[in-house]
C-alpha cells in the first residue's frame, strides 16, 4: 500500500480467552499525502484506540501501521498528535506560548526568535491573542483545546492526527476553528486525520470520510467528498454533494446503532 | 473594622489568658523552678546572644543532615519509581522504616559513631530521608500516563522526558516531602543534641536543667519555636513561588 | 507467571529475605566490625534472652500503653477543642496562635523543664505526649468541620436539625475520616514523644532500655529493641486503623470505589 500513513490488517484487543475484548479487527486504510481525512463512527467504537495505534503510542496485536513506508513502533518524527484530553496534554508549568514552542522542538530552519514569532502568529490565528503569557489552567477548556491545536500545527509535522479537537469549543468558535484548521493545514502542507463524532464536521472538513463500524471496528465505508476547497461554512453546507455525503454517513451510523440495539 | 481583623485581634485573648494563668500560677508557686512569663522574657533578653549562637549550630547541622538525605534519597526515589520491580519489592522495607522513629536509632548511632557532629548529622539525615524517599518514590511512580503519552508524541528521548516532563511534574510531591523533611531535620537536630550532648540548643536546654536555670531553658524553647516558625514559613513561601502552577485556581477566564 | 507478577505477589517475604540475606552477607564479609554488626542469629538469640527474662515484655507493655493512652487522651481533647472551635471563630483563632507556637517544638525540648514542674512519672508523660499529639487531630478536625459541604448541611436542616443536632449528626460524622488521618499522624508522634521522654527522664520503658543497653555496649540487644519499637509503631497504627474502619468504614469503601 502506498500513502503517507497506512494500516494493514490491524487488530487490537485486550485480555485473553473469555475476557478478551477486541477493539479493532482487520482494519485497513491508506492516507495519501496532503489529504484531509475524517474518521467517524458510533460512540465507543474505538476511534481513540485506533488513533493511538496509528500514531504509534499503542502497538497493535495484529497487522502493522506504516508511516512513509516504515513500520511504526513508536511515534515517528514527522507525526504529531492533538489529544482529546487537552487539559492533561498541556504542561501546567509552562505558559501557553511555551507549550506551543515546546511542540516546535523538532522544527528546523528557524532560530529562536523566528519560532517565537511563528508561535505567536499561530496563537493569534486560533484566537488566543493576549493569552500567550497565561498558563493553560488560567484559561477555559475551549481555550486550552485551542492551545493544544496550536501546538500541533506549529510542529509543522507532515502528518497531524487530531482526536476530537473541537469537542470542547463552542459552536461559533468551532466554525471559525474548522476553517482555520483547513487553511493552516493547506498553508503548512500538513496531511490531517481527524477523528470526530460530529458527522457534519467530518464531511465539511474532509476530502474523504472513513466510516468506522462498531466494535471490533474496521473501516466499513469510504465516502469521497466531492466538494471544492476552500470550503465555506454557509454555501458548502448547503451544497447537494455535502447533503448527499452527510445523508449517507448518518444513515450508515444510524443503522449500525440500531443493529447493535436490536442484536 | 472588618470581621476578619476583629476575630484575629480577639483571638489574641486566648494566648494572653494562658500567659496570665501561667504568671498567676508562677506567683503562687514562688519558686525559681517555676518561672512565669515575665521571668522568661527577662531571660530571653539577657541570654539571646548565647541562644542564637547555639541555635546556629543546631540549624547548621540540620541543614547538613537534610542536604545529605536530599542528594541521596531523591535520585534513589526516582530510580525506585522508574524500575517498577525494585520499587514494589522494597516498599515493605520503606513502610517498616517509616514506623521506626528517628529517636529510636540514636542509641545505635551512638554505638557506631560516638556523640560528635557526624553522629548527629547521620541521625538527622535518617529523619529527613524517610519523608524524602517516600514522597519522591510516590511522585516518581504515579506520573500521569497522559504525560508520558505527550512526551512520546513529541518525540522526546528518555533523558529529555525525565528532565523536561517527569521532573517538573514530580516536583510538587517532592517539595511536600522536602518540607516535612526540613521540619523533621530541625526537630531531630534538637533532640539529638539533648541525648548526645556536645553543643547546640538542645545541649543548652539540658545544661539549663542541670544548673536549675529554668527560665533560660524556657527562653531557649521560645527561640526553637521561633526558628521553626520562620523556617516553615520560608519554605512555604518558596514552594508557593516556584510551584505556583500546582496551587492553581480552576477559574476559566473566557 | 512472569517474574514481575511473582515479585508483586510475594513482595513482603521477598523483601524480608533480601534484608535478612543482605545483612548476613555484610556480616559474613566482615566489612564492618562484628561488635557493631552482629549476625541475625546473635540478635535473635539476644532478643529471645531478653524476652524470657521478662524484662522486655514489661518494658514494651509500659511504653505501648503510655503511647496508646496518651494518644487516646490527645485525640479526644483535640476533637473536643475542634468542636468548640467550630462554634466560636474567636476561640479557633486563639487556639491557632497557641498551636502555631507550640507545634514546631520537639517533644524532647519540653522534657527537662517539664521534669521540674511535674516531676518524673505519669504526669510528665501525659504532659509531653498531649502537648505534641493534640495538634494533628485538632487541626484536621477544625478543617474538616469547616469543610462540610453546604448541600449536606442544607439536607440536615431540611430534616429539622438544630445547629447542635447538625453538629453531632452531620458535621462530626462527615469530619471523622479527616480527623482519623490526623490521629494516624498523631500515633507516630505519640510513640516518638514516649520514647524520647523515656530516654531523657525515664526509669522504665523501651526508650530507657535502649539507652541502658547502648551504654553497656550490648549491640545485639539494641538492634532487637529497635525492631521492637518498629513493631510498636505497626501495632499502634494497626489499632488506629481498626477503629477507623469501624467508625468510618463508609468513607473507606467510598474512596476505594474504582473510577
The mean pLDDT value for B89-95 works out to 84
Q: For residues A79-92, give the mean pLDDT.
A: 91
**Radius of gyration, CA atoms only, chain A:** 18
- What would the grid cell of residue B96 be? 517498616
* Percentage of chain B lying above the pLDDT 90 cut: 41
Please, which pLDDT band fits residue B228 given cuts at 50, 70 and 90? very high
Under the banding of pLDDT at 50, 70 and 90, the label for residue A261 is low
Whether the CB-CB separation of C182 and C136 falls below 8 Å is answered with yes
Q: Over range B9-35, report the average pLDDT.
A: 86
Beta-carbon contacts of A259 under 8 Å, excluding residues fewer than 6 positions away, are A214
d(CA B39, CA B35): 6
Q: Tens digit of pLDDT for each residue in A102-135?
A: 999 888 888 999 999 999 999 998 889 999 999 9
Q: Is B94 exposed, middle or buried (0-12, 13-18, 19+ CB in 10 A)?
A: middle
3-state secondary structure chain A: CCCCEEEEEEEEEECCHHHCEEEEEEEEEEECCCCEEEEECCCCCCHHHHHHHHHCCCCCCEEEEEECCEECCCCCCCEEEECCCHHHHCCCCCCHHHHHHHCCCCCCCCCHHHHHHHHHHHHHHCCCCCCCCCCHHHCCHHHHHHHHHHHHHHCCCCEEEEECCCCCCCHHHHHHHHHHHHHHHHHCCCEEEEECCCHHHHHHHCCEEEEECCCCECEEEEEECCCCCCCCCCHHHHCHHHHHHHHHHHHHHHHHHHHHHHC
Please report the pLDDT score of residue B253 as a whole number. Answer: 37
Average of per-residue pLDDT values in chain B? 88
Task: Identify whether A135 is part of a domain.
Answer: no
In a domain, C96, yes or no: yes
Rounded to whole angstroms, how far apart are CA atoms C208 and C63? 10
Residue B1 in contact with partner chain C when CB distance is under 8 A: no
Q: Please check whether residue A203 lies inside any domain of the structure.
A: yes
Q: Which of the two residues, A70 and C37, has the higher pLDDT score?
A: A70
In a domain, A248, yes or no: yes
Tally of structural domains, chain A: 1
Mean pLDDT of A179-191: 88
Least confident of A64-78, A160-174, A206-220, B77-91: B77-91
| Position C1 confidence tier, pLDDT thresholds 50, 70, 90 | low
pLDDT digits (tens, 9 = 90+) for B193-221: 998 888 889 999 988 888 888 888 899 99
Distance CA C167, CA A261 (A): 50
pLDDT digits (tens, 9 = 90+) for C8-27: 777 788 888 888 888 888 87
**Is C228 domain-assigned?**
yes
Question: Is B194 strand, coil or helix?
Answer: helix
Q: Does residue A50 form part of some domain?
A: yes
Instruction: Write the CATH number for A188.
Output: 3.40.50.300
pLDDT interval class at B59 (50, 70, 90): very high
Q: What is the pLDDT of residue A1?
A: 56
**CA angle (B146, B147, B149) in 5-degree steps:** 65
Q: Look at B254 and A105 and tell me if their CB atoms are within 8 Å.
A: no
Give me the domain span that covers residue C209.
60-252
The reply to whether A94 falls in a domain is no
Domain limits at A45? 5-78+157-262
Q: Which chain A residues contact residue B248 at CB under 8 A? A: 92, 135, 137-138
State pLDDT tens for residues A139-155.
988 899 999 999 999 99
Query: Is A in contact with B (3 or more beta carbon pairs below 8 Å)?
Result: yes
Q: Which residues, 6+ apart, have CB-to-CB distance to C44 below 8 Å?
A: C224
Q: Which CATH number fits the domain that encloses residue C97?
A: 1.10.3720.10
- The answer to the question of residue C115 being in a domain is yes
What is the ipTM, given to two decimal places? 0.84
A102: in domain: no
Fold for domain B41-242? MetI-like fold (1.10.3720)
- Chains with 3 or more CB pairs closer than 8 angstroms to C? B
Q: Which of B146, B150, B164 to mutate to test the interface with A (most CBs of A within 10 A)?
A: B150
Q: What value does the mean pLDDT take over residues C94-101? A: 92
Residue C80 inside a domain? The answer is: yes
Answer yes or no: do C229 and B33 touch at CB < 8 A. Answer: no
The Cα A55–Cα C175 span in angstroms is 47
Checking DSSP bridges between strand A159-163 and strand A79-82, what pairing results, if any?
Answer: parallel
Q: Per the domain annotation, does A128 fall within a domain?
A: no
Q: Alpha-carbon distance B212 to A41, whole Å? A: 84
**In total, how many domains does chain C have?**
1
Q: Coil, strand or helix: which one is C103?
A: coil
Is C79 among the domain residues?
yes
Query: Do residue B191 and residue C106 have CB atoms under 8 angstroms apart?
Result: yes
Cβ-Cβ contacts under 8 Å between B and C: the total is 169
| CB proximity B7 to C under 8 Å | yes
- What is the per-residue pLDDT across C37-75, written as a single tens digit (0 to 9) for each? 777 888 888 888 888 887 888 888 889 999 999 999 999
Question: Residue C69 falls within a domain, yes or no?
Answer: yes
Amino acid at each position: 500500500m502506498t500513502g503517507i500513513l497506512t494500516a494493514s490488517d490491524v487488530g487490537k484487543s485486550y485480555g485473553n480467552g473469555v475476557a478478551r475484548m477486541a477493539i479493532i479487527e482487520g482494519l485497513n486504510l491508506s492516507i495519501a499525502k496532503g489529504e484531509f481525512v475524517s474518521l467517524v463512527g458510533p460512540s465507543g467504537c474505538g476511534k481513540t484506540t485506533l488513533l493511538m495505534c496509528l500514531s504509534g503510542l499503542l502497538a497493535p496485536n495484529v497487522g502493522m501501521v506504516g508511516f512513509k513506508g516504515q513500520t511504526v513502533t513508536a511515534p515517528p518524527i514527522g507525526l504529531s498528535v492533538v489529544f482529546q484530553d487537552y487539559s492533561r496534554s498541556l504542561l501546567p508549568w509552562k505558559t501557553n506560548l511555551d507549550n506551543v514552542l515546546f511542540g516546535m522542538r523538532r522544527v528546523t530552519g528557524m532560530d529562536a526568535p523566528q519560532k517565537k514569532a511563528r508561535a505567536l502568529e499561530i496563537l493569534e490565528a486560533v484566537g488566543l491573542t493576549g493569552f500567550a503569557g497565561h498558563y493553560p489552567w488560567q484559561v477555559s477548556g475551549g481555550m486550552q483545546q485551542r492551545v493544544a491545536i496550536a501546538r500541533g500545527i506549529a510542529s509543522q509535522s507532515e502528518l497531524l492526527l487530531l482526536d476530537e479537537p473541537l469537542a470542547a469549543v463552542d459552536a461559533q468558535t468551532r466554525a471559525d476553528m474548522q476553517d482555520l484548521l483547513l487553511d493552516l493545514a493547506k498553508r503548512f502542507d500538513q496531511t490531517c486525520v481527524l477523528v470526530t463524532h460530529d458527522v457534519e464536521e467530518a464531511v465539511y472538513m474532509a476530502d474523504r470520510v472513513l466510516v468506522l463500524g462498531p466494535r471490533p471496528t474496521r473501516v466499513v465505508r469510504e465516502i469521497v467528498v466531492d466538494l471544492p476547497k476552500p470550503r465555506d461554512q454557509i454555501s458548502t453546507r448547503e451544497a447537494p454533494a455535502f447533503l448527499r455525503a452527510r445523508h449517507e454517513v448518518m444513515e450508515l451510523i444510524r443503522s449500525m446503532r440500531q443493529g447493535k440495539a436490536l442484536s | 473594622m472588618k470581621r476578619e481583623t476583629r476575630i484575629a485581634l480577639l483571638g489574641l485573648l486566648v494566648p494572653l489568658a494562658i500567659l496570665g494563668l501561667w504568671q498567676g500560677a508562677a506567683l503562687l508557686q514562688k519558686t525559681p523552678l517555676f518561672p512565669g512569663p515575665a521571668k522568661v522574657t527577662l531571660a530571653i533578653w539577657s541570654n539571646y546572644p548565647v541562644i542564637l549562637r547555639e541555635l546556629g549550630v543546631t540549624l547548621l547541622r540540620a541543614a547538613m543532615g537534610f542536604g545529605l538525605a536530599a542528594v541521596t534519597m531523591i535520585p534513589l526515589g526516582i530510580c525506585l519509581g522508574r524500575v517498577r520491580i525494585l520499587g514494589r519489592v522494597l516498599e515493605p522495607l520503606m513502610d517498616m522504616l517509616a514506623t521506626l522513629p528517628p529517636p529510636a536509632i540514636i542509641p545505635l548511632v551512638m554505638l557506631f559513631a560516638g556523640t560528635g557532629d557526624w553522629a548527629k548529622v547521620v541521625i538527622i539525615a535518617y529523619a529527613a530521608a524517610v519523608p524524602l524517599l517516600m514522597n519522591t518514590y510516590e511522585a516518581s511512580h504515579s506520573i500521569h500516563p497522559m504525560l508520558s503519552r505527550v512526551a512520546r508524541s513529541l518525540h522526546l528521548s528518555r533523558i529529555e522526558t525525565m528532565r523536561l516532563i517527569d521532573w517538573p511534574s514530580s516536583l510538587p510531591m517532592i517539595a511536600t516531602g522536602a518540607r516535612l523533611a526540613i521540619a523533621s531535620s530541625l526537630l531531630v537536630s534538637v533532640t539529638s543534641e539533648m541525648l548526645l550532648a556536645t553543643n547546640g540548643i538542645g545541649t543548652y536546654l539540658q545544661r539549663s536543667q542541670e544548673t536549675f536555670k529554668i527560665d533560660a531553658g524556657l527562653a531557649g524553647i521560645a527561640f526553637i519555636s521561633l526558628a521553626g516558625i520562620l523556617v516553615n514559613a520560608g519554605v512555604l513561601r518558596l514552594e508557593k513561588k516556584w510551584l505556583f502552577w500546582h496551587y492553581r485556581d480552576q477559574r476559566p477566564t473566557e | 507467571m512472569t517474574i514481575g507478577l511473582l515479585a508483586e505477589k510475594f513482595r513482603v517475604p521477598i523483601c524480608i529475605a533480601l534484608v535478612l540475606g543482605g545483612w548476613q552477607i555484610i556480616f559474613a564479609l566482615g566489612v564492618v566490625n562484628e561488635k557493631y554488626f552482629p549476625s541475625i542469629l546473635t540478635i535473635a538469640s539476644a532478643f529471645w534472652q531478653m524476652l524470657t527474662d521478662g524484662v522486655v515484655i514489661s518494658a514494651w507493655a509500659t511504653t505501648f500503653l503510655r503511647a496508646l493512652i496518651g494518644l487516646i487522651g490527645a485525640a479526644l481533647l483535640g476533637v473536643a477543642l475542634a468542636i468548640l472551635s467550630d462554634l466560636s471563630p474567636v476561640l479557633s483563632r486563639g487556639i491557632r496562635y497557641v498551636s502555631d507556637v507550640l507545634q514546631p517544638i520537639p517533644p524532647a525540648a519540653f522534657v527537662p523543664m517539664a521534669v521540674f514542674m511535674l516531676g518524673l512519672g505519669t504526669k510528665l508523660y501525659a504532659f509531653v505526649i498531649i502537648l505534641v499529639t493534640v495538634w494533628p487531630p485538632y487541626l484536621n478536625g477544625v478543617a474538616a468541620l469547616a469543610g462540610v459541604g453546604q448541600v449536606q448541611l442544607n439536607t440536615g436542616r431540611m430534616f429539622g436539625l438544630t445547629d447542635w443536632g447538625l453538629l453531632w449528626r452531620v458535621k462530626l460524622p462527615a469530619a471523622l475520616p479527616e480527623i482519623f488521618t490526623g490521629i494516624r499522624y498523631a500515633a507516630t508522634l505519640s510513640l516518638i514523644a514516649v520514647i524520647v521522654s523515656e530516654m531523657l527522664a525515664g526509669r522504665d520503658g523501651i526508650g530507657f532500655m535502649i539507652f541502658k543497653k547502648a551504654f553497656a555496649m550490648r549491640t545485639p540487644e539494641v538492634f532487637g529493641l529497635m525492631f521492637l519499637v518498629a513493631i510498636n509503631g505497626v501495632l499502634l497504627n494497626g489499632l488506629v486503623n481498626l477503629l477507623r474502619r469501624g467508625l468510618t468504614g463508609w468513607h473507606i469503601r467510598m474512596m476505594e470505589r474504582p473510577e
